[in-house]
Amino acid sequence: MPLITRIPVHGRWTLNDTGDSPASGTVTFTATTTLRKASDDTVILPGRYTAQLDTNGEIQLELPATDDPAISPNGWAWTVQEQFRHHSRRWYLQVPAATSGVLELADTMPLASPPSLGVWARIRYGNELPAGGSEGDLFLLLT
């Protein structure tokens, strides 16, 4: 069973407006951050999925949702790198867990930059114990 909700994704590229000349190349999806599933203390390293366009200029794959409620941070994005013979483009994509059916890439709104997830700072207590607490670290979210 996957650790993250997976959503079917489809895309189609063509070289002209008549649609009779399918593009060729690859589309690579790379996670923009390390993820954590708290329920079983699992760290999920940033993954990469590369899809080769088929003879119709299409790709189909399943991607982990970027807003799965069991995963943190919530609301991260995929970096999408399109690499075709005469064209390349990089953009960002969020894949909602609530997607019904297949997420069509042509129907998505590409993000110009990944969403801000904040910056975490770790403060070590050293030998001091916080009042009423135990030895450990304190994590602060800096926005």
In the chain, % of residues over pLDDT 70: 77
Q: How many other C-beta atoms lie within 10 A of the C-beta of residue 58?
A: 15
Q: What is the pLDDT at residue 18?
A: 72
Residues 40, 44, 45: CA angle, nearest 5 degrees = 160
Q: What is the pLDDT at residue 38?
A: 84
Domains parsed from the chain with CATH numbers: 6-115 (2.60.40.3390)
Which is nearest to 4 in space by CA: 32, 37, 30, 29?
A: 37
* pTM as predicted: 0.76
Pairing type for strands 88-93 and 119-124 reads unpaired
Q: What is the pLDDT at residue 120?
A: 52
CA distance 45 to 29: 14
* 105-137 per-position pLDDT tens digit: 999 877 766 666 655 554 544 555 444 444 454
Which pairs with CB-CB distance under 8 Å and at least 24 residues apart come from 121-125?
none
* 29-85 per-position pLDDT tens digit: 999 899 999 888 899 998 999 999 999 999 999 999 999 999 999 899 999 999 998
Q: What is the pLDDT at residue 17?
A: 72
Q: What is the pLDDT at residue 15?
A: 87
- More confident call, 13 vs 119: 13
